[in-house]
Amino acid sequence: MPISVLSAASVATCRVFVVGRRRQNSRPSVCFVSLDYCNSVMYVAADGSIQRLKAVQNAAARLVTGTRRRDHISPVLRQLHWLPVRQRVTFKPAVLVFKALHGLAPHYLADDCQLVTDAGRRHLRSSESDTCVLQRTNTRFGDRAFRLAGPSIWNSLPADLRQPDLSLGHFRRALKTFLFNRFCSA
User: Over 50: is that where the pLDDT of 2 sits?
Assistant: no
Contact in structure between 108 and 121 (CB atoms under 8 Å): no
- Which comes out higher in pLDDT, residue 34 or 152? 152
Describe the crossing of helices 146-156 and 85-101 by its angle, rounded to 10 degrees. Answer: 100
User: Over 70: is that where the pLDDT of 161 sits?
Assistant: yes
CA dihedral for 4, 90, 136, 117, sign (positive or negative): negative
Share of the chain above pLDDT 70, in %: 67
- Residue ranges of domains in the chain: 8-82, 88-185
Whether the predicted model's global pTM rises above the 0.85 cut: no
Contact in structure between 118 and 142 (CB atoms under 8 Å): no
HEC sequence for 40-96: HHHCCCCHHHHHHHHHHHHHHHHHHHCCCCCCCCHHHHHHHCCCCHHHHHHHHHHHH
Residue-level pLDDT at 3: 46
For residues 51-78, average pLDDT: 87
